[in-house]
C-alpha cells in the first residue's frame, strides 16, 4: 500500500491574519489523520514561519510553493532551501504550471531545483501536466513523457524516495474542469510506467503520484479511489478548513 499525500497550495492567498485563521481551523478539524495519510499545507513565503509555529504538535506538515536552485547570493526576490528549512518546511512544490506559464520555468531548472531540494532534505512535489491545446492535439503522452524524464533527470533511486510527482493537467487548474477519474488514471499509469523505465518497478510502485486540478469535496473520493492516484494537490478548495478536511476524509 502506497502512502497518500494531500497537499494544499495556497498560491498568493492569505496574509498573517488569514494564515492564523486557516491553520487554526484546520487544526481543529484534523486532530488525527487516517493511517497512511500525510497532509501538507503550502502557504506563501511570508506566512511560513508563522504557520510552522501554529502547527507545532499537529500532524499537518509544512511546505513551500517554490525554491531557488542556488544556495545563496545576489538573486533578488528568490528564496533558498536553507530559508525554507529554517522556517520549518519539509516539502516544496516545484514546477507548478503557473511557474512554468508566467515565470518561464523549464524542466531543466525544475530538475536543478529538485536536486537542490533533495540534497537539503526537502521533499520536492514535482508538477507535470499538459495544456488544453496539447490534449486536443493528442500529444498528452509525449508532453508528460518529456516533462517526467526532464524533471527526474539524473535522480538516483535513493533520491527518488523523497520525490512526489503531481499530475496537474493545466486545463483543470482553477477552472472547475476536473479530469475524469479515467483520464487522470490513464496519465498516472503512464507516469508510473515511466518511473519504472527510468529505475524499476519496485521503486515505481512506491512513488507517490498526486492528482491536481479542481479537486473538490464532491469529486475527491472517486479520483482518490483510482489505482494509481496517491493523493491530491489542491488549490482553491484548500483555502477553507471544511473543504480541505472533506478532501482528506475522502481518502479510503
Is residue 236 involved in binding ligand PEP (CB under 6 A)?
Answer: yes
Which of 23, 233, 250, 251 binds ligand PEP (CB under 6 A)? It is 233
Closest CA to 163 of 174, 154, 172: 154
Close Cβ partners of 9 (under 8 Å, ≥ 6 residues apart): 42, 65, 93, 96, 212, 233, 234, 235, 238
We find the least distance from the C-beta atom of residue 213 to ligand PEP, in angstroms, to be 5
199 carries an active-site annotation: no
* Torsion angles phi and psi, residue 174, rounded to 5: 70, 10
Q: What single-letter DSSP state applies at residue 251?
A: -
- Which ranges in the chain belong to alpha helices (H)? 16-29, 48-54, 81-86, 97-103, 107-119, 132-136, 140-151, 157-160, 181-198, 201-206, 217-224, 241-249
Is residue 235 involved in binding ligand PEP (CB under 6 A)?
Answer: yes
Stretch that binds ligand PEP, among 113-121, 153-161, 182-190, 212-220 (CB under 6 A): 212-220
3-state secondary structure (DSSP) of residue 64: strand
Is residue 212 involved in binding ligand PEP (CB under 6 A)?
Answer: yes
Catalytic residue among 96, 105, 130, 188: 96
Is residue 44 involved in binding ligand PEP (CB under 6 A)?
Answer: no
Which of 23, 234, 245, 248 binds ligand PEP (CB under 6 A)? It is 234
Which of 4, 5, 6, 9 binds ligand PEP (CB under 6 A)? It is 9
We find the least distance from the C-beta atom of residue 76 to ligand PEP, in angstroms, to be 25
Grid look-up 469535496 returns 217
Which residues are annotated as catalytic? 96, 168
Which residues contribute to the site for ligand PEP (CB under 6 A)? 9, 11, 96, 168, 173-174, 212-215, 233-237
Amino acid at each position: 500500500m502506497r502512502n497518500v499525500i494531500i497537499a494544499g497550495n495556497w498560491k498568493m492567498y492569505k496574509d498573517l491574519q488569514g494564515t492564523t485563521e486557516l491553520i487554526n481551523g484546520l487544526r481543529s478539524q484534523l486532530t488525527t489523520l487516517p493511517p497512511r495519510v500525510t497532509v501538507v499545507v503550502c502557504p506563501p513565503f511570508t506566512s511560513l514561519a508563522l504557520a510552522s509555529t501554529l502547527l507545532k504538535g499537529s500532524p499537518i506538515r509544512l511546505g513551500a510553493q517554490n525554491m531557488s536552485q542556488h544556495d545563496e547570493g545576489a538573486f533578488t526576490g528568490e528564496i533558498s532551501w536553507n530559508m525554507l528549512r529554517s522556517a520549518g518546511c519539509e516539502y516544496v512544490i516545484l514546477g507548478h504550471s503557473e511557474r512554468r506559464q508566467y515565470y518561464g520555468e523549464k524542466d531543466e531548472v525544475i530538475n536543478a531545483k529538485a536536486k537542490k531540494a533533495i540534497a537539503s532534505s526537502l521533499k520536492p512535489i514535482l508538477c507535470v501536466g499538459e495544456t488544453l491545446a496539447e490534449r486536443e492535439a493528442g500529444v498528452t503522452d509525449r508532453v508528460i513523457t518529456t516533462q517526467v524524464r526532464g524533471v527526474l533527470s539524473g535522480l538516483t533511486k535513493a533520491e527518488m524516495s523523497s520525490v512526489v510527482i503531481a499530475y496537474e493537467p493545466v486545463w483543470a487548474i482553477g477552472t472547475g474542469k476536473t479530469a475524469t477519474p479515467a483520464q487522470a488514471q490513464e496519465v498516472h499509469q503512464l507516469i508510473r510506467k515511466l518511473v519504472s523505465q527510468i529505475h524499476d518497478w519496485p521503486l515505481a510502485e512506491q512513488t507517490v503520484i498526486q492528482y491536481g486540478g479542481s479537486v473538490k469535496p464532491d469529486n475527491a473520493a472517486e479520483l482518490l479511489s483510482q489505482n494509481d492516484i496517491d493523493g491530491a494537490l489542491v488549490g482553491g478548495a484548500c483555502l477553507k478548513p471544511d473543504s480541505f478536511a472533506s478532501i482528506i476524509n475522502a481518502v479510503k
